[in-house]
Structures are given as C-alpha cells and as structure tokens.
Amino acid sequence: MSLTEYRRKREFSGTREPQPGKSLPKGKRAIFVVQLHHASRRHYDFRLQVGDALKSWAVPKGPSYDPSVKRMAVEVEDHPVDYAQFEGDIPKGHYGGGHVARFDHGVWATEGDPEAQLAKGHLRFELFGSKLKGGWHLVRSGKPARQPQWLLFKDKDAYAGMLEADDLLADVAPPPAEDLKRAGKGKPARKRLTEVAAVARPRKAGWAARALKLQGAAKKASSGEAFAPQLARLGEAPPKGDQWLHEIKWDGYRIVASVTKGKARLWSRNAIEWTQKIPEIAMAIESLGLASASLDGELIAGSGTKQDFNLLQGTLSGEKQGSLSLVVFDLLHLDGVDVSGAPLHERKQLLHSLLQDPPAHLSYSSHIEGDGEQAFQLAVDRHFEGIISKRSDRPHQPGRSDDWRKTKSLASDEFAVVGFTAPKGARQGFGSLLLARPDPEHGWSYAGRVGSGFSDELIRQVSKALEKNGAQARPSVHVPPHDTDLRSARWFKPAAVVEVFYRGIGGHGLLRQPSLKSLRPDKKPGDLVDSDRPAKAKGASMKKAANSASAGKQSKSGQEERFRLTSPTRVVFPDTGTTKQQVADYYQAVMPWLLPEIIDRPLSIIRCTQGVGRPCFFQKHQTAGLERVDAVSLREEAGNNAD
C-alpha cells in the first residue's frame, strides 16, 4: 500500500495527524476503525487494515445495520495504521479540517486475500467491534466518478437489524459547536446506545435440569476462571475396545472458555487470556445464551478438512486473513451444574445437544466409537495429522493421563530451540535451528538440527522469537561430540518451542530427516518436561518408539551392513542445510516405494561431485565406483552398444 497521496495532502508541521513511516507492531491481528469526522461535511471514515496501511472510505450517512440499506462509500487515500488512534481537531485550512472522534474499533477478518477481493470489486468481511459486528460487504459501484465509489451494506446475520450508526453515539465525544454547525448534526438518533448485541437465539429451557441427570453431576457455581484441560499421551497405535471414542486431532491452539453471567472469557492451555485476541469466539459463545459454562476445544483456521495451521498463525499475527473457529470437544460446566465428574460420553451427548445448531465460529467435534483403526485411516485419508482416542467411561481428569491418547499419521514432536548455525546461500537470519529435548540426566539434551520446512514468514517469526536471547559459543545443553559443523554454532538457553516432523531417530539419538512444522508461541520450554509420551516410551526407549514410525522396513543395523557412508555430516544442499546423511536416510526411507518403480529400467543419474550449485554432469554409462550396480548393454542413437 502506498501512503504517497496521504503525505502529499498534509502539512505535518501544522497538524497532529500521524506521519507515515512509523514501524508497525508485529504479532497483532488486522484492525479496523470507524471515525466520525466533522469536516466540511459530516461523514464517517471507514478504515480496514490491509497489509501495512488502512484502506479508507468516506461514508456520508454511516454504516446501517439494515441489510436492505446500501450506503455510498467513497474510496479515499490509504492512511497509516496508527491513524486508528487519532482523535481530536484537524486545524482549519488543513486538508480535512474539523473534529475527529473514534466511533468504533476492533479486529476484522475475511476468507482469502483481501487485496484480491478488492481488485475484483467485492470484499466480504466480518467486524468484531463493540458496535459494528458480524458480516459486511463492500461492492464497487459501476458509476463513473472522480473517486471510486463503493456500496457498504450489512450481511443478513444474527446482528442485522434496524439500527443506524447515528443511534450508537452515546459514548462518542461531540465536536465543537462551530464544527457541528458547519458540518451538520446528522439525522436525529432514535436510540442512544454504546454497544450492539446479536439477536437472541431461541434458548432451550432446562439446560441445568438436563445437566443434573448426568452421572456424577452436582450443583456448583462456576469460578469463571481458566481451568486445567485434560491432555493426551502419545501412542504408537489406536487403542482397541468399545470403551474408547476417537476424534480428529485438530491442528490448532488449545483454548478453554468460561462463561459467567453470560460473558465469555478465553484462555490458552497455559492460562494466558486470549479473549481480546479472538473476539469472534467469545461473541459466538455468548450468543448461546448461557448463564455459565466451561468449554474445552481447539482453535483452528477454516473449518472441517480445510483447517490450516499456517493460516491460523498468520491470521493471529496480522500477516494473513482467515476465518477462525473453535472446535469444541468437552463440556465441564453448564448453567450452574458441574458435569466434570460425568463420563465423557454423557458430557459429549449434552455438548452435542448444545451445539446442535451452532453459531458461526463454533462447531462440535464428532467422534467414532470403538473402531480406532477405522478412525485413524479416515484421518490419514483426509490429511489430518492423526486422532485423539479417549476413554468414554471416564470423568474429566486435569493434566496428562493414559485416558486420552493421540496417534499421529506422521511422527512429530515439540522441541526447545537452543541455538542456530550461520545461514548459507540465500537464507537470511540463520541456517538451521538447534533443538533439544528434556533429559533426566543432563536437564536438556541435543536432539539435532532442522534446516528445512521454513517459509520466509516462519523465518521472520522464529528470528523474532529468538532475538532477545544472547548467543554464546559454548553449548547450553548436553551435546554428544560427533558433529564438527556445530563448532561454529551459536547457543543459548532453551528459548522458543517448535514442532518438527521427522522420520525416526538415527545415530547418537538425533532426529532423522527433520522438517519444521511450526513455531509454537503458545508453549514454553518448561512445558516440554510434561512429556506427552507414555512412561515406557520415555528416556532410552524414545529412540525405539520413533524408529518404529520411520519410513522403510530395514533396521538401522541392516542399513549399516549394506553400505558405509563417508563424510555423513557434509552439507550437500546449502540452501536448506541438508547433510549427506540426511539424503541417504531419505533414500533409505523411500526405498520400499522407489525400487519397485525402477526395477528393470535403465538408470541415468545427475552427478554433482563438487556439490550442489557447482557444475554437474549427466551420466548414463557405467564407470568405476559403480561396481555394485548391474549393467545392461543397450544400443545408443549412434548405433553402437554400451553399458
């Protein structure tokens, strides 16, 4: 977005309006602001943050909550993001001279690229303010005009009604009398409101009575505070038996919610409040019309099979736009009744009734009873990362236990970042991240390094998370003396947490073929001490458990009998930091699928004896060094035979 026109129209020596160039706060969602502006003519300035600027429209009559009323919105120049904080008077004689008061502000969301939607002439979006809420549309008008004209109107949803912006000015500072006289007062307000609520949903009476019928239920007031969620241990295969129910393992952030006197509050798994960060979820829960409740679920971007963890992180950081939803899978309290002591299957039946017709941004996590293998295969076929299996006959148990178990389709785990190597090639910031896992003997033990799976966005996020840690030359964790490339690495105490895919545990207990999945800002290194692995899989047997999930059917000893690898730590792909050992591990892993496709076929190879990035050559003839490769005689284009 360009702020050239904004700068050209203003003389900043005579106005308090913010100048462009101020660095934007990182890690915050895209905002919106609406300001009541008494300039030469009274109007509302409607602004949406898109990228690093506020896209802006002048709306003479202000937004209307009536979906049938389409208000003209004249597109004006982009404004800097910190203009959202501006209130007060623009001096007479300056561009836009007059009084500016903030009418409403909050975060906003849309599905897809907002710039692409604006270019097409139709932006569908949601606002999460105190006055402007729910779905809205901006549609470009086809009428020729000096400035592009759009139509702003309300979507038909639970917030639609007959209110006008002028009905919501009870808490907006009035302008000076001379501005009011010059610009106009607007239409007489029919109401004097400061906030808008959703149209009340038909409330099913008797939630408390239904909750009291559950086994172990008891009347008890809700604390209204965060509660400790139940956590799963990692399993190698889905548990068997009819006493288990199996749910999708959602790829998002754990969120617990409490409702007190109809108002919802949200927390992360570690009791960090998220109510203001995800207001659409709080609004959706409040629209259920409950007096009190305690809900447990997973925050995802998108819905169903379209969930996207990178989109979730991008939306929360303000770098992307996506629709957020809370998938709810447990209910612990409902309208004055504590149901945490009831069996899970009874709690879920009640929860399913509660979310039979859920509002936008809320959904129910369904399950399969008994057949864990079918549930796991269904998750794999639909590209989920696994399943969570839960004992249906057990009450809620805070913390980690064997009553909940997770089975992953691809091995992944969380590690603390304890250092980095220097970047190579085009990589900026760092080359590879050095990882560690909790170790009962040494505190933390080196687990390997990850240099692939990074997008530019992830590199920026990780770099920001690590920038406050003072690096040093000596390792801060126990490192086996085997990798000479670590001599120039920079180390620090366990800092950020990342989740990494891998194909098993190799020599020295290091990850094989690691690839970064995501940064986990919702977790701290100390959380990793509470391992999700069962006791039998901790410590030395962790290596065995991870090896069982690795691709390929040969044991490590069998691999060593087949070949000896020279210079295993040599980096052969500088851009990703991939070593020769990792390449060999990859080919070993895919061998069961690769070999059947190339059997009885002539094989040609591209050889890069000086490394990737240096001159390579195409080889199809057998030469020294390939004695263990069987050769066949084929007729070439020149007419002669060759091996």
Q: Residues near 353 by Cβ (< 8 Å), separated by ≥ 6?
A: 204, 210
CA dihedral 587, 590, 592, 598 (to 10 degrees): -70
Amino acid sitting at position 263: K
Backbone angles phi, psi at 93, to 5 degrees: 90, -15
Collapsing DSSP to helix, strand or coil, 608 comes out as coil
The CA distance from 69 to 39, in Å, is 24
DSSP per-residue letters across 259-296: EETTEEEEEETTS-B-TTT-HHHHHHHHTT--SEEEEE
Residue 538 is among the residues annotated as catalytic for this protein: no
Cα gap 218→230, rounded to integer Å: 20
Contacts with 454 (C-beta within 8 Å, 6 or more apart), sequence order: 462, 516
* Residue pointed to by tokens 């149901």: 339
HSE, side-chain direction, 13 A CA sphere, residue 206? 4
What is the amino acid identity at position 214?
Answer: L
| Residue keyed to tokens 């389409």 | 70
Kindly write down the DSSP assignment for every residue of 505-565, as one continuous string. Answer: B-GGGPBSS-EEEEE-TT--GGGGGS-SS-GGGSTTHHHHHHHHTSSSSS-HHHHHHH---
> Across the strands, what pairs with 499?
414, 518
CB 192 within 8 A of CB 164: no
Amino acid making up residue 69: V
Inter-CA distances, 526 with 90, 242, 405, Å: 51, 36, 21
State how far Cα 132 lies from the chain centre.
25
Residue 1's Cα: distance from chain center in Å?
A: 25
- 608 φ/ψ angles, rounded to the nearest 5 degrees: -125, 75
The catalytic position among 131, 133, 249, 523 is: 249
Query: Concatenated DSSP letters for 149-181?
Result: EEEEEE-SSTT-SS-BGGGG-TTSPPPPHHHHH
Token pair in block for residue 78: 């982009």
CA distances from 115 to 7, 54, 63, 189 (A): 22, 12, 22, 35
Determine the distance from the C-alpha atom of residue 455 to the mean position of all C-alpha atoms in its chain, rounded to a whole number: 14
C-beta separation of 369 from 392 below 8 A = yes
Helix (H, G, I), strand (E, B) or coil at 456: helix
Find the DSSP H helices in 318-455: 344-354, 372-381
Catalytic sites, residue numbers: 249
